[in-house]
Amino acid sequence: MAKVIEEATEIIDLLYKHGWDERNGGNFSYILTDEEVQTIIKEEKEIREFKYDFDMSSLIGKYFLITGTQKYFKNCLKDPETNLGLLKVKDKDTLSLLWGYKDGGRPTSEAPTHLKCHIERLKKDKEHRLVIHCHPTNIICMSHILELDENKWTEILWKMQTESLVVFPEGIGVLPWIICGGDEIGEATALKMKEYRSVVWAQHGLFSTGKTLDEVFGLIETIEKAAEIYMKICDKKVVQSITNDNLKELAKAFNINYKKGIID
């Protein structure tokens, strides 16, 4: 198996084992380099094409590894060629399947949202490569009990543990419940991606983005761990916690450019 498929499916498997991608929950899209593509296919031959109704011209020529619709994260490691597809952006509205979806499948229903997020994140960071959507339990719990104010979410998550500010200094975006798989949630998520690498979908889950598999997995782990701590202490009497001054001291010591206007 190509190394890049092995690495990607190992991360997908870990997400499943953490309980963040039950059944067909979650989806994954990863920009591959030409060299990585050549380790999967010898020559480029289109198997099928998929049409979309939004403009992805800025992605033309890029290769993506994308989970299939109705596919389970649980199964990706043992059968990548059925559960994942390698696609090239052939035209401003067309993806060309070069490998995968062996059973006749197609890209995840959230592919337009993923691609719109890639477009926005690439404007912010040329090295951006990965979007992962998952259903972390404690993030979903928090969205039931906390008002959907992203500065408030950011402050709480930063104050749950020392690592949070270091790992997501830009904070976290939060969207209300919106029907998934559609244009509205896709546009809203991509808009948040102008500012954040991670966006919460209330009562649904999380979208996280970044450069590498480790970075994005680590971002999800850190956010979900902060949420877990919050859910464990939110109904307890807290006698001491991380203060605004502590966070500012941390930012200074680690030279972190965090989002202003929350703890200042």
Binding site for Zn ion (CB under 5 A): 205
Query: Least distance to Zn ion from the beta carbon of 181, Å?
Result: 9
Vertex 152: Cα angle to 148 and 158 (nearest 5): 125
Nearer residue to Zn ion within complex by CB, 83 or 96: 83
Nearer residue to ligand 2HA within complex by CB, 110 or 150: 110
Query: Least distance to ligand 2HA from the beta carbon of 36, Å?
Result: 25
CA gap 244, 261 in Å, rounded: 11
27 binds ligand 2HA (CB under 6 A): yes
**Which member of 15, 95, 110, 225 binds ligand 2HA (CB under 6 A)?**
110
Nearer residue to ligand 2HA within complex by CB, 15 or 37: 15
Q: How many CB atoms lie within 10 A of CB 62?
A: 18
CA gap 139, 160 in Å, rounded: 13
Enumerate the β-bridge partners of residue 50.
95
Query: Least distance to ligand 2HA from the beta carbon of 125, Å?
Result: 24
- SS3 (DSSP) at 64: strand
**Which member of 7, 24, 146, 256 binds ligand 2HA (CB under 6 A)?**
24
**Segment near ligand 2HA (CB under 6 A), from 20-28, 39-47, 144-152, 225-233?**
20-28
120 binds ligand 2HA (CB under 6 A): no
**Segment near ligand 2HA (CB under 6 A), from 9-17, 18-26, 215-223, 249-257?**
18-26
Provide the total of helices (H) and of strands (E) in the chain, helices listed first.
Answer: 11, 9
Mention every residue, 6+ apart, whose C-beta is less than 8 A from residue 67: 12, 26, 27, 28, 29, 73, 76, 83, 84, 107, 108
198 binds ligand 2HA (CB under 6 A): no
**Catalytic residue status for 155:** no
Catalytic residue among 35, 36, 46, 110: 110
CA gap 212, 232 in Å, rounded: 30
Question: Do 202 and 143 form a contact (C-beta atoms < 8 A)?
Answer: yes
Query: Least distance to Zn ion from the beta carbon of 86, Å?
Result: 22
- SS3 (DSSP) at 252: helix
26 binds ligand 2HA (CB under 6 A): yes
Which one-letter amino acid corresponds to residue 162?
T
Q: Which positions touch ligand 2HA (CB under 6 A)?
A: 24-27, 109-110, 133, 180
Catalytic machinery residues: 110
